[in-house]
Amino acid sequence: MTAASSAAGGEAATPAADSPLALWLAHLEALHPKGQSGIELGLERVVRVKQILGQDVSCPLITVGGTNGKGSTCAYLEAIYSFAGYRVGCYTSPHLIDFNERTRIDRQAVDDATLARAFACVESARQAAGATLLTYFEFATLAAVEVFRACQAEVVILEVGLGGRLDAVNAYDADCAIVTSIALDHTEWLGNTRAAIGVEKAGIFRPGRPALCADPEPPASLVEHALAIGADLHLLGRDFGYFGDRTQWTFWGRDGLRRGGLANPALRGRCQLRNASVALAAGELLRARLPLSMQAVRRGLIELQLPGRFQVLPGRPTIVLDVAHNPQAVGELASNLADLGYCARTFAVVGMLADKDIAASLAPLAGKVDQWMLTDLAGPRAATAAHLASFVGAGLGGAYRCFASPGAAFDCAAKMAKEDDRIVVFGSFQTVAAVMQALNLGR
């Protein structure tokens, strides 16, 4: 069996070329034949190095998988436990601006020196394992857990990179596993049906331990797998859920549990109550080991920040940054844009990867964009602006222009847009990251 990797979404900025961290990242890229952006699924090699490192995580460990909503759910859990006073280690991917964003302690990205020390430990174990060829994502995952062990984290949150069953994160046994949603994405690796993808996502569940799913209509395959292995399955709408209005909401769980009077989450969008409710459900299930106050819950919901998730920037014209890059996520984006109310014109700055379902991903915005600003992206997985134009021109409506970079596309949109217009940036982490850098955001 081969080793797990996921660099889904593309990469952004790296440190100065001669810094120790930059040298380590270059080593990670060169180590495996598929480099930084390759995907190779399996667990054997990462488990081999993990065993040499002796990486047994003794504190509660939460694994979060799903097609969309993983990052938001991790952010809710991270914030809630941090405000409760726990030392929280959180690992997510990909990053927007700096690689350090992937590995956080108490909501702060770790520094270069800490990462470099962790990489050195992983490299030593890799050599001891017969110079095992780890992938970029595997190496980063092992290093993140090494950081969390060194700082004596009291709760660890790991975001699945791709799928679940064969993802490197699944080398660690979750005390509580969450699947946020199941939709078609990465079909060449996970299967081309929700049933097949559901099995891959459910691979993070463990016998006798809490397994949560926040998808309103989970495929039967996920439920059947959970039951077959004896996981403690909790489903949205059956075992936990939410209700409320535009000002406040209530979380409910089993046995008549109610947590009412909650302010709506700081993250915007219709899907965020689902993400917040599954995070709260996980918190309730782990309460015996990790007690939580309602003050910590309330602060965690309203004080967190997660750039690029339907992020609406202040000022005029309205600028929306969203890393949506598959049909389900862009569908949510379209719904959220409708909730923003009137705008005269919509400019869409779009760059995508070629291995995405581009036609289905752009379809939710058919007839809703006045000017498409289509852009090339860097890297072998990128779709060209001309390729994107072939889909826009096939009936999505609106005019389009092609650009060599997201920065150039956004600059043109900003010059054309008037105060009552809006600019929507989406399609890839790489697209959003480039525009954030152009706006001097995120550092």
Q: What is the 3-state secondary structure (H, E, C) of the chain?
A: CCECCCCCCCCCCCCCCCCHHHHHHHHHHHHCCCCCCCCCCCEHHHHHHHHHHCCCCCCCEEEEECCCCHHHHHHHHHHHHHHCCCCEEEECCCCCCCHHHHEEECCEECCHHHHHHHHHHHHHHHHHCCCCCCCHHHHHHHHHHHHHHHCCCCEEEEECCCCCCCCHHHHCCCCEEEECCCCCCCHHHHCCCHHHHHHHHHCCCCCCCEEEECCCCCCHHHHHHHHHHCCEEEEECCCEEEEECCCEEEEECHHHCEEEEEECCCCCCCCHHHHHHHHHHHHHHCCCCCCCCHHHHHHHHHCCCCCCCCEEECCCCEEEECCCCCHHHHHHHHHHHHHCCCCCCEEEEECCECCCCHHHHHHHHCCCCCEEEEECCCCCCECCHHHHHHHHCCCCCCEEEEECCHHHHHHHHHHHCCCCCEEEEECCHHHHHHHHHHCCCCC
- What average pLDDT score do residues 24-29 get? 90
Q: Convert the pLDDT of each residue in 201-211 to its tens digit.
A: 999 999 999 99
Q: What pLDDT is attached to residue 170?
A: 97
- Enumerate domains of the chain plus CATH numbers: 20-302 (3.40.1190.10), 311-438 (3.90.190.20)
Residue 364 CA to residue 350 CA, distance in Å, equals 14
Structure tokens at 426: 């989406």
- What average pLDDT score do residues 314-324 get? 95
Q: What pLDDT is attached to residue 37?
A: 53
Whether the per-residue pLDDT at 88 is higher than 70: the answer is yes
- What average pLDDT score do residues 42-63 get? 94
Instruction: Note the pTM of the prediction, 2 decimals.
Output: 0.91
Q: Convert the pLDDT of each residue in 144-198 to its tens digit.
A: 999 999 999 999 999 999 888 999 999 999 999 999 999 877 767 677 899 999 9
Cα four-point dihedral sign 197, 201, 206, 212: negative
Q: What pLDDT is attached to residue 65?
A: 96
Residue 129 CA to residue 127 CA, distance in Å, equals 5
Whether the per-residue pLDDT at 6 is higher than 50: the answer is no
Q: What pLDDT is attached to residue 33?
A: 65
Structure tokens at 434: 């480039």
Residue 163 CA to residue 235 CA, distance in Å, equals 19
Whether the per-residue pLDDT at 3 is higher than 70: the answer is no
